[in-house]
A and B are shown apart, each in its own frame.
Chain A
Amino acid sequence: DSGVTQTPKHLITATGQRVTLRCSPRSGDLSVYWYQQSLDQGLQFLIQYYNGEERAKGNILERFSAQQFPDLHSELNLSSLELGDSALYFCASSVAAGGISGYTFGSGTRLTVV
Chain B
Amino acid sequence: AQTVTQSQPEMSVQEAETVTLSCTYDTSESDYYLFWYKQPPSRQMILVIRQEAYKQQNATENRFSVNFQKAAKSFSLKISDSQLGDAAMYFCAYNSPTGSQGNLIFGKGTKLSVKP
Residues of A within 8 A of B (CB): 2, 31, 33, 42-43, 45, 48, 50, 55-58, 88, 90, 92, 97-105, 107-108
Contacts and interface: CB of A to CB of B under 8 A. Distances in A.
B43 A99 contact: no
A48 B97 CA distance: 14
Contacts, number: 60
A33 B95 CA distance: 13
A99 B98 CA distance: 11
A105 B45 contact: yes
Interface residues of B, number: 23
Contact of B95 (A88, A99, A104): A99
A102 B105 CA distance: 12
Contacts of B102: 31, 48, 50, 55-56, 97-99
Interface string B91-116: 10001010011111111110000000
* A interface SS class: strand
9 contacts: A42-B107, A50-B102, A56-B101, A57-B101, A98-B97, A98-B102, A100-B33, A102-B47, A107-B42
A26 B66 CA distance: 27
Q: Sorted from nearest, which 5 A-B pairs have the closest CB atoms?
A: A105-B45, A56-B101, A43-B106, A98-B97, A98-B102
Contacts of A50: 102
